[in-house]
Amino acid sequence: MSRFTRSAAVITLSVGTLVSLPALAADALNYNQISLRAEVSQEVARDKMIVTLYTESQNADPAKLAAEITTTMNKALGQAREVKGVTLRQGSRNSYPIYDNKNQKITGWRERAEVRLESADFPALSKLTGELLNTLKMDSMDFAIADATRKSSEDALLKDAVAAFKARAQLATDALGGKGYKIVNLNFNTNGYPQPYARGGMMMKAAMADSAPTPEVEAGTSQVNMSADGVIEVLQ
């Protein structure tokens, strides 16, 4: 009986020793490690103008309606293709039935088609938009940051964020009386790059009336931020 009890005690001690090893390793791994965060920001110009135009009509004959919409859009697309620096993207095109007062019988059809124009040349796109409003309607005018501009600003922010993190890491090391530090991990996050900012179509249509000169547009800027979150180990 006593022999069994001693064996059990040895096994228990061995298991306890094994369990404690990872805990000791974890304590050693996290020794003198601190978390830091550094942030940098930059004003970036909204250098891409996006205009969405559409045509909409209704007809009792869906085939005639489709032909009418197609003719209008083809004319507008042909006119837009003549302007250099403007990118065309065809938007949605939808048709749906129109019912009588009892909502039982189809009395006609309504169809809508969109075209999206993008350009970094604001005056050229503004002028084209004013001309196309003779046959189309405006859904919105938006401003965004072009892909190339975004990449360039992200690259610059990354360098600034690394420098800011290193400066903060050195400051923390000096405050703790360390001889130096090493980076355990480092993560970057960006925010502030905007979704396109829409301006109402009715307002811009009035501004671009035939009797008025082409309006100048100011897209403004957006403040974008990048944060560097990481862990350093201070060396003693």
Quote the pLDDT of residue 22.
Answer: 53
The token duo for 232 is 């350093």
Label residue 160 by pLDDT band (50, 70, 90). Answer: very high
Q: Per this entry, what is the length of the chain?
A: 236
Of 150 and 2, which is predicted with more confidence?
150
- Quick one: three-class SS letters along the chain? CHHHHHHHHHHHHHHHHHHHHHHHHHHHHCCCEEEEEEEEEEEEECCEEEEEEEEEEEECCHHHHHHHHHHHHHHHHHHHHCCCCCEEEEEEEEEEEEECCCCCCEEEEEEEEEEEEEECCHHHHHHHHHHHCCCCEEEEEEEECCHHHHHHHHHHHHHHHHHHHHHHHHHHHHHCCCCEEEEEEEEEEEECCCCCEEEEHHHHHHHCCCCCCCCCCCCCEEEEEEEEEEEEEEEC
Can you give the pTM of this predicted structure?
Answer: 0.69
Q: Using CA atoms, how far apart are residues 227 and 178, in angstroms rounded to an integer?
A: 25
pLDDT in the model for residue 194: 63
Query: Each residue of 84-95: pLDDT tens digit?
Result: 999 999 889 999
pLDDT of residue 81: 95
Q: What is d(CA 225, CA 40) in angstroms, rounded to the nearest whole number?
A: 6
Say whether pLDDT at 198 is over 80.
no
> pLDDT per residue over 12-25, tens digit each?
333 334 444 455 55
